[in-house]
Amino acid sequence: MSITVDIRKSLGAFTIDIWFECNAGVIALFGRSGAGKTSIIQMLAGLVSPDNGRIVIDGDPVYDSSTNLDTPPNKRGIGYVFQDARLFPHMNVRRNLEYGTRRNSETSERNPVFDEVVDVLALAPLLTRAPQGLSGGERQRVAIGRALLSAPKLLLMDEPLASLDAERKWEILPFIESIHREFATPIIYVSHSSDEILQIADEMVLIVNGGVAAAGPVEEVMNRPNLLRAAGDSNVGSVIPVVVDRCDDEYGIAALSFPGGEFQVTAPALLPGDRVRIRVRARDVSLATKRPQDVSLLNVFEGTVVEISNTGQPQADVSVNVGGATVWSQITRKSLDDLAIRPGSTVYAMIKAVAIDRPAGSP
């Protein structure tokens, strides 16, 4: 499935003017609050009409201002999961889920089956309970299940974890991650959390002030620090696909291979052969011009400086090519000058094992 969005909408003094095209999978719309993300998916769903443009889902236009086409929301084949679960309080979990099946007017071998959705989202123990007795995470799982059972061609998720604490978020993310794998349902996932996106997304659309600043595979977009900062992410760095080589149970250390060598990280839950992504924050990467000796750091990589982004701030972003992988480092301009680091310089990138973000998602 492909999704093409080319729309414009004036919202008072704020204007949305975007174009992007994505393939099936999990597509993240990322940007700071107020960037226009929710308005964009509301236009996809048909809850808000654009001023002009075109929206095409799986080859079928659902909005086209040139032909006055504006398909009603209930005819677009789209499921919508809101920030709050919006379950029917007078129905138990089973009846809330069954409401989703009643909204599905088409029969297809690809349609999610009730028992399969219950199994994938671990809802069986909740079926007889009322929404008022569920935790926030449980309510969101039910809301996701209800949307899936409507057999959508596309599932929209508008910051579904925004109201949950960090622990509940990390419980729910694997369920969301499994949806596309189990049911082949494309998802557009709205978030201002790059950690959530790293966990579940295949492609990423960066929204800044109502426009698209960048779009593409997650690894490519998240490896552009200046753009990410403009979108509201201060924890920029490098996203690198890796394969788990081995695990040291005694120390809780996993060895992760990539084209530039091998990371050692504190990740005791991984298994050899797992394919994951790691994020190395630029502020956690130090640079040296000589190979360090007798240091506690487990990750030291030789590389070549490719790019230096210096906008007059006290810090500079330095891009280092390590065996074909990009590792970003944020250092002070004083260190940059003291070490005479320039594009083409050979440097050693040093990273603490405990500074690498938890491995997340299959690349």
**Percentage of residues of the chain with pLDDT beyond 90:** 58
Q: Within this chain, do residues 187 and 38 fall inside the same structural domain, yes or no?
A: yes
Residue 334 is part of a domain; what is its CATH number? Answer: 2.40.50.100
> For residue 216, what is the domain's CATH number?
3.40.50.300
Q: Pairing relation of β-strands 187-191 and 26-30?
A: parallel
Give the pLDDT confidence of 260-314 residue by residue, as tens digits: 999 999 876 778 898 888 889 999 999 999 999 888 889 999 999 999 987 678 8
Are residues 267 and 128 part of one domain?
A: no
Question: Residue 103's domain spans which residues?
Answer: 2-233
Q: Are residues 110 and 175 in the same domain?
A: yes
Query: Is residue 39 located within the same domain as residue 155?
Result: yes
Q: Is residue 208 part of a domain?
A: yes
| Residues 6 or more apart in contact with residue 6 via CB below 8 angstroms | 18, 19, 53, 54, 55
* Inter-residue long-range contacts of 101-109, CB under 8 Å, 24+ positions, other chains counted: 101/149, 101/150, 103/74, 103/149, 103/150, 104/149, 104/150, 104/151, 106/77, 106/151, 108/151
Q: How many CB atoms lie within 10 A of CB 130?
A: 15
Least confident of 31-40, 62-71, 75-84, 310-319: 310-319
What is residue 118's predicted lDDT score, i.e. its pLDDT?
93
Which residues have C-beta within 8 Å of that of residue 307, sequence separation ≥ 6?
318, 319, 343
Residue range 29-36: mean pLDDT, rounded:
91
Sheet holding 325-332, edge to edge: 285-288, 346-351, 299-309, 315-322, 325-332
Same domain flag for 221 and 303? no
Residue 363 lies in a domain: no
Q: Residue 180 and residue 254: Cα distance in Å, rounded?
A: 28
Question: Percent of the chain at pLDDT above 70?
Answer: 95
Within this chain, do residues 199 and 246 fall inside the same structural domain, yes or no?
no
pLDDT (mean) for 223-250: 86
- Residue 47: pLDDT above 60? yes
Assess whether 220 and 346 both reside in one domain: no
Q: Which of 233, 258, 279 is the last residue of a domain?
A: 233
Q: Are residues 277 and 173 in the same domain?
A: no
Please indicate, yes or no, whether residues 267 and 348 belong to a single structural domain of this protein: yes
Q: Are residues 220 and 256 in the same domain?
A: no
Give the total number of structural domains in the chain: 2
In this prediction, residue 108 has a pLDDT band, given cuts at 50, 70 and 90, of very low
Last residue of a domain, one of 210, 233, 256: 233
Whether 278 and 204 share a structural domain: no
| Longest distance between any two alpha carbons in the chain, whole Å | 70
183, 211, 233 - which closes a domain: 233
* pTM, rounded to two decimals: 0.84
User: pLDDT grade, residue 229 (50/70/90)?
Assistant: confident
Find out whether 97 and 141 touch, Cβ atoms under 8 Å.
no
Q: How far apart are CA 121 and CA 21, in angstroms?
A: 29
